[in-house]
């Protein structure tokens, strides 16, 4: 049976939210995801589910709040997500992404939030989140709100060197190549094994790419692009590795957020 989750803003009523905002100045996490193919063995919500669940766990640790996700992300690119031509991948234009981020940031600022984290799970979003933040900060400055501080976090950047060695004993490929690879598969195995089918792992990986992009994105134009949509093998993925990484992301981000927003004294 469902029970109310006090870190999820949308489950609060506005008076509870207002009280939290006024009394605690909580950090607000905004997960930014994607609906994107992740090979034959993973569901299409990895880029939303993982950063949202990390956000929730961090929020529980530091008494923060998590906003509803931006469920759709920017167009998938071949070298980082296989390309936007796959069925299922459902993306926004740059303009829609930028304005959505701008608007949501400005609204939380109106509520009194001054500490935001844009938690990104889809690397193609990065620059559009950045532009959305920049547009919002300019407008807010003109509104007299000059004390906002916003972090943009790609959670995977919190992987430590030691974890890297454990997870990829033969060497870390690269974050782009990790699309539907060991990291995402492991974390999904840890958090949502019901959504992973390890019997369907792609065999046409790893992808090989030239050092440039080709458009339009078609299999004809990109003959080395795996038809499976995965960019690297996930054979080495395990729920245990997923747990290791997930926890490292949560604790690393909790520490960074605590430090950046000066929350130290408020944490028990």
Site pattern 23..42 for a second copy (x: CB under 8 A): ------------x-xxxxxx
Question: Interacting stretch for a second copy, rule CB under 8 A, among 51-59, 165-173, 204-212, 239-247?
Answer: 204-212
CA neighbor of 208 nearest in space, from 249, 171, 176: 176
Counting every residue written for the chain, the total comes to 268
Contact 12, 20 (CB under 8 A): yes
Contact 46, 65 (CB under 8 A): no
**Phi and psi (nearest 5°) for 29?**
-95, 130
47 is catalytic: yes
Q: CA-CA distance, 28 to 150, in Å (whole number)? A: 10
Q: Residue 118: helix, strand or coil by DSSP?
A: strand
| 48 lies in the site for a second copy, by CB under 8 A | yes
41 is catalytic: no
Q: Which residues from 132-161 bind a second copy, rule CB under 8 A?
A: 133-135, 137-139, 141-143, 148-154, 157-158
124 is catalytic: yes
| 207 lies in the site for a second copy, by CB under 8 A | no
240 is catalytic: no
Q: Which residues from 4-23 bind a second copy, rule CB under 8 A?
A: 4, 9-15, 17-18, 21
Q: Which one from 57, 120, 124, 178 is the annotated catalytic residue?
A: 124
Contact 182, 168 (CB under 8 A): yes
- Structure letter (DSSP) for residue 8: B
Q: Which residues from 169-188 bind a second copy, rule CB under 8 A?
A: none
| 247 lies in the site for a second copy, by CB under 8 A | no
Residue 210 vs 264, nearer CB to a second copy: 210
Residue 66 vs 268, nearer CB to a second copy: 66
Q: Which two tokens stand for residue 192?
A: 């949502």
36 is catalytic: yes
Residue 151 vs 239, nearer CB to a second copy: 151
Q: CA-CA distance, 177 to 10, in Å (whole number)? A: 35
Residue 63 vs 71, nearer CB to a second copy: 71
**Phi and psi (nearest 5°) for 230?**
-80, 150
Q: Which residues from 49-108 bind a second copy, rule CB under 8 A?
A: 49, 67-72, 74-75, 77, 86-96, 98-100, 102-104, 107-108
CB of 232 to a second copy, least distance (A): 16
179 is catalytic: yes
CB of 263 to a second copy, least distance (A): 15
Other residues' Cβ atoms within 10 Å of the Cβ of residue 160? 12
CA neighbor of 173 nearest in space, from 201, 199, 209, 203: 209
CA neighbor of 63 nearest in space, from 33, 32, 23, 111: 23
| 190 lies in the site for a second copy, by CB under 8 A | no
122 is catalytic: yes
């Amino acid at each position: 049976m469902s029970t109310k989750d006090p870190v999820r803003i949308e489950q609060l009523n506005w008076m509870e939210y207002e009280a939290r905002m006024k009394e605690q100045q909580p950090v607000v996490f905004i997960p930014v995801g994607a609906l994107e193919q992740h090979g034959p063995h993973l569901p299409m919500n990895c880029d939303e589910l993982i950063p949202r669940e990390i956000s929730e766990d961090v929020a529980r640790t530091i008494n923060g709040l998590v906003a509803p996700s931006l469920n759709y992300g920017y167009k998938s690119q071949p070298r980082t997500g296989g390309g936007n031509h796959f069925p299922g991948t459902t993306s926004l234009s740059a303009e829609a992404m930028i304005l959505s981020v701008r608007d949501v940031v400005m609204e939380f600022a109106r509520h009194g939030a001054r500490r935001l984290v844009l938690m990104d799970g889809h690397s193609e979003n990065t620059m559009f989140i950045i532009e959305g933040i920049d547009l919002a900060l300019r407008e807010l400055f003109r509104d007299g709100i000059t004390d906002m501080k916003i972090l943009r976090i790609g959670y995977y950047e919190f992987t430590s060197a030691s974890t890297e060695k454990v997870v990829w004993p033969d060497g870390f490929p690269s974050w782009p190549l990790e699309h539907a690879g060991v990291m995402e598969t492991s974390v999904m195995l840890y958090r949502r094994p019901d959504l992973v089918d390890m019997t369907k792992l792609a065999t046409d990986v790893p992808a090989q790419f030239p050092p440039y992009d080709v458009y339009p994105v078609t299999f004809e134009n990109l003959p080395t692009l795996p038809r499976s949509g995965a960019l690297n093998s996930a054979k080495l993925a395990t729920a245990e590795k997923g747990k290791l990484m997930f926890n490292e992301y949560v604790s690393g981000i909790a520490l960074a957020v605590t430090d950046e927003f000066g929350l130290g004294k408020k944490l028990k």
